[in-house]
Structure 1
């Protein structure tokens, strides 16, 4: 009898210490393909995004309840190409507010793939928390014969519920991989392994377990100088694509529309065409920030003072940030400074 009593007391103590407690994970839904629907089960590329509400999305993956205590919240219901800077600021503020709560252990954001990398980078740099913030999406709608959304969502919640995932910056979980939001981009638009980092995955999630192999060496989260609680709006930053036979009219149009910076998505090492160079020099002399990026798909790496005299021109290079990520970081940098040397420091450190 005494032994049974000891066992009972031990069980009660375990419950009191949380040994059997599940993590509390909030799923913030924003729409996208993961909430999309097609007319037929064979439609994996032609469908309508952002049709399935979060409650229905969660009901489709009952296994989530075995991993964590999950509840959903519908923040937006949009295809991600239609999200604005105002939207991502609002989302980040909601993530920040939830991360401060003691009854929240991790946060998952369901999102469309088209701008997932931009939103998740923004969250990684501006939300000051060590709690896991995990972005997840799918390449096929929920109605497709081989939908990847349910497993991606389960994997994302698994990662968010795991204490190993703390203090790693915002993460992207898709196709069994745990990827850093900083350097992961959509490289393909029709395959489930669409998201790739040129520097490799941080880890894997397989059969309900997370496995980490590396960490991020750049600034994020609590180590960032950018805090979403102090940000209300973002400066207007435009991306203009470099190509053969380039002209200057789009750069002038961006300046006339009120842009504070232009990301030049150049060829190769962020090269600027001879016909465009005088225009960028003129705009810089008038206070416009010029950031040289590269539109090389597999990972452009722009070297300073190569292809252009950045020191003399007062230009910034985007390091290994692609144009769309460079836009996000430049907008954040402009909330702090208009000094191109300081903006360059930010690109090196983040």
Structure 2
């Protein structure tokens, strides 16, 4: 018996965008959604690890490079996008989330793996963590070296991701990120190095577990709301509110802040110095922006730690929101979704403490 892959329109996909495999009833059924990235990249030589071209290899070739996957899951592949992840947009996120929810609603799907470029992988993962409506495993995976490189990390990363997506232990743990034999929560993980294969770290709370010899080992789980417990629903959304990130630094000015407001931003995340502190000119700019209906979230550029409410700024007086320990890029994701529900800063603050 063969699995036939279909597009989101119901058309049968060609071998360039889909891989068929014989069903083995004792194995989990895992769908791999390919979106491009370095894991699908190619370089001029086998030693090219910088200056390669991302998003060149299709899902069929990715799976053929790891035939061992067929021993751990019945795999179906789908090429949803073919882009480098710095080009991911809100529209891509909405399309991906709707497709994931559509697939997970099927009794024939036990888990999903999403191949993705590492540059914005953590943002896509956290977005999905907030809008996926299933407790079935969803695992994002990428690589730091292109598929043509010596010691390319993509094939083993992909194998491990399929193992986790088909694992009963991964059920209910929210959206996961699997690279370098490590399993991380979508909420907690961030890319921390431009080049090292151990780039994905969870500086505040640590990994959820590891993969050893093709077996996932979990040691903890995320306690913040996610997936089936989340209030956010993208099924009827065609767009997301515009939210911009502002970076704090010495001798700052409000030029970029005012430009963002003039461009129609509905929310601003300020990546402040230290504990989310604000340069005096920036603070006044944020106050002025809020008077125009723009919601303000204080985050930190440091990369770890909790931003204390009423610590550096009188947030209660100014009606600012603090990002808890979310980094600026993830605070932006949550603020966009929160703004689809409310403009009340107190309610938005509660969301940052719950998600």
Q: TM-score, length-normalised on structure 2?
A: 0.92
Paired residues in the alignment total 332
| Larger fraction in helix | 1
For residue 9 of structure 1, what is the aligned residue in structure 2? none
RMSD: 1.2
> What CA deviation, in whole Å up to 9, does each residue of 1:138-186 have, x standing for no partner?
0110011010000000000000011111000000000001100011000
User: In 2, are the aligned partners of 1:33 and 1:50 still within 8 Å (CA)?
Assistant: yes
For residue 206 of structure 2, what is the aligned residue in structure 1? 200
User: In 2, are the aligned partners of 1:61 and 1:150 still within 8 Å (CA)?
Assistant: yes
Q: Distance in 2 between matches of 1:50 and 1:148?
A: 15
For residue 317 of structure 1, what is the aligned residue in structure 2? 322
TM-aligned CA deviation for residue 228 of structure 1 = 2.5
Alignment map for 1:16-165 (pairs within 5 Å): 21-165=26-170
Match of 1:286 among 292, 299, 305: 292
Q: Distance in 2 between matches of 1:276 and 1:328?
A: 22
Q: If you compute each CA radius of gyration, which structure gives the higher value, 1 or 2?
A: 1
User: In 1, are the aligned partners of 2:42 and 2:148 still within 8 Å (CA)?
Assistant: yes
The alignment status of 1:178 with 2:172, answered yes or no, reads no
For residue 269 of structure 1, what is the aligned residue in structure 2? 275
User: In 2, are the aligned partners of 1:300 and 1:322 still within 8 Å (CA)?
Assistant: no
Q: Which runs of 5+ in 1 are unaligned?
A: 1-17
Q: TM-score, length-normalised on structure 1?
A: 0.93
> What CA deviation, in whole Å up to 9, does each residue of 1:273-322 have, x standing for no partner?
0121111111111211110000113x142110011000001100000000
**Partner SS, residue 65 of structure 1:** helix
TM-aligned CA deviation for residue 52 of structure 1 = 0.5
TM-aligned CA deviation for residue 19 of structure 1 = 10
The alignment status of 1:304 with 2:288, answered yes or no, reads no
**Partner SS, residue 299 of structure 2:** strand
The alignment status of 1:228 with 2:228, answered yes or no, reads no
Q: Distance in 1 between matches of 2:25 and 2:32?
A: 22
